[in-house]
Structure 1
Amino acid sequence: MQAHPLRLAPGQDLRAAIEAAVAEAGQGGAAFVLQGIGSLGVAWLRYAGQPQPTELRGDLEILTLAGSVAPDGAHLHMSVSDAAGRVFGGHVAPGCIVRTTAELLLALLPAHEFSREPDPNSGYKELVVRTRLS
C-alpha cells in the first residue's frame, strides 16, 4: 500500500478529481479513499434506497469521505453538514464541487486490480478484487 495525500482546490469536482488522481498515479486503478475533509458549495448525494441523487447547496462541511476507486469508477460515501449543523450522508454522485478545499488520503494498492462487475445477488455492478500478476 502506498499512501497518497491529495488536496483539491476550489471549483474541482470531488469525484472526478479522485478518479483522475488514482488514474494518474498509474497503479492499475486500485485504491481506497481512507478519509476526506473539507468543504463543498454543491453536493450530490444518493440516499439509501433512492434511485436519484439529491442536490444540496450552500456552505457544506465534509465530515467523512471514504470508498473504493477502480478504473471503471468510484464507489464513495460521504457525510456533510450544512450551516445549521444538520448532517446528510449517502453515495457520492458526480457534481460535488469543492468550495474552499478538500484534503484526502488515498491508499494506492499496486498489488491489486479492481473492477466492477454484475453481481447476481445484489443486481448491481460490485467490486471485484484480483491480485495483480507481476
Structure 2
Amino acid sequence: MQIFALRLKPNNDLMTSLRHFVAQHQIEAGFMITAVGSLQQATLRFSGQNYAQAFKEHFEIVSLVGTLSIHGIHLHIALSDKKGKTIGGHLLEGCIIYTTAEIIIGVSDNLIFLRTIDETTGYKELEIKPK
C-alpha cells in the first residue's frame, strides 16, 4: 500500500483538487484514510436527490470518506457548522477551502477501482478488479 498526504490551501476547490491529484499520480485504487479542515462554501447532493445544494457559510470538515480512481471518484463528506449542526452528502465541485484541508489517501497496489453501470441500481457503481 502507498500513502499520500496533501494539504489544500484557501480558495482551492476540494473535489477539483482531488481529481487533479488522482490524475497526476495515476491512482487506480485509492481510498480516504482521513481528512480534516474547513470550507467557506459547500456544494452537496443529498441522498435520494438528483440536484445539488450550495451553502455559503463556514464549515468544519468532520469526515471525508470514499474511493478515488482515475476511473471515477465517489466521496461523501460530513460538515459541521458554527453551532455544531452536522450535514453530509455526496461531495461535489463547489466545496471551497477556507483555511486548510489536510488529507491522507491510501492506495492499493494490487487493485483497480472502476465505475460501471449496475443494471440493478442504474448508477455507476464500484467494480473492483485485481491489478
**Residue 71 (structure 1) shift:** 1.3
**Residue 51 (structure 1) shift:** 0.9
Between the aligned partners of 1:131 and 1:119, the Cα distance in structure 2 is 19
Q: Does 1:14 align with 2:5?
A: no
> Any residues of structure 2 matched to 1:1-134 within 5 Å, and which?
1-27=1-27, 29-132=28-131
Matched residue type, 2:24: E
- Deviation digits for residues 67-107 of structure 1 (CA, Å, limit 9, x no counterpart): 10121331000100111221111111111111110011101
- Deviation digits for residues 32-80 of structure 1 (CA, Å, limit 9, x no counterpart): 1122110001111111111112111111110000110121331000100
Stretches of structure 2 lacking an aligned partner (at least 5 in a row): none
**Residue 26 (structure 1) shift:** 3.0
Name the SS for the 2:58 alignment partner: strand
Q: TM-score of the superposition, structure 2-length normalised?
A: 0.93
8 Å contact kept, 2:26–2:70: no
8 Å contact kept, 2:116–2:124: yes
CA RMSD after TM alignment: 1.2
Identity of aligned residues (%): 37
Dislocated runs of 4+, deviation >4 Å: none
Between the aligned partners of 1:43 and 1:110, the Cα distance in structure 2 is 32
8 Å contact kept, 1:22–1:108: no
Name the SS for the 1:72 alignment partner: coil
Stretches of structure 1 lacking an aligned partner (at least 5 in a row): none
Q: TM-score of the superposition, structure 1-length normalised?
A: 0.91
